[in-house]
Homo-oligomer: A and B are copies of this chain.
């Protein structure tokens, strides 16, 4: 049985990971990315990669998996930011 507190951790991880989906969709649909801070997403990506390595080291699948998915979503935001910024 997963202890309640770990369920809380899994819910928190799911929310913080899934939260980037609306921003990815908004950037993709509107192709308007000027107000999004590239600096934020680059620093965030670096931090998330470190969290992923941390998750591997401490054998925490949820930390590693959540941060792997978040890294993919954050990379998408960076891709759209770079792609659509030059277009304007």
**Quick check: is A35 within 8 A (CB to CB) of the other chain?**
yes
Please classify the interface of chain A as helix (H, G, I), strand (E, B), loop, or mixed, using the class held by over half of its residues.
helix
Task: Pick the residue among B11, B20, B34 that contacts A35 (CB under 8 A).
Answer: B34
Docked pose: A41 CA to B27 CA in angstroms: 14
Could you list 11 further interchain pairs (A-B, Cβ under 8 angstroms) beyond the known A15-B47, A16-B51?
A5-B57, A8-B54, A9-B51, A12-B50, A12-B51, A15-B44, A19-B39, A20-B44, A22-B39, A22-B40, A22-B43
A interface with B by C-beta (< 8 Å): 5, 8-9, 11-23, 25-27, 30, 32-37, 39-41, 43-44, 46-48, 50-51, 53-54, 57-58
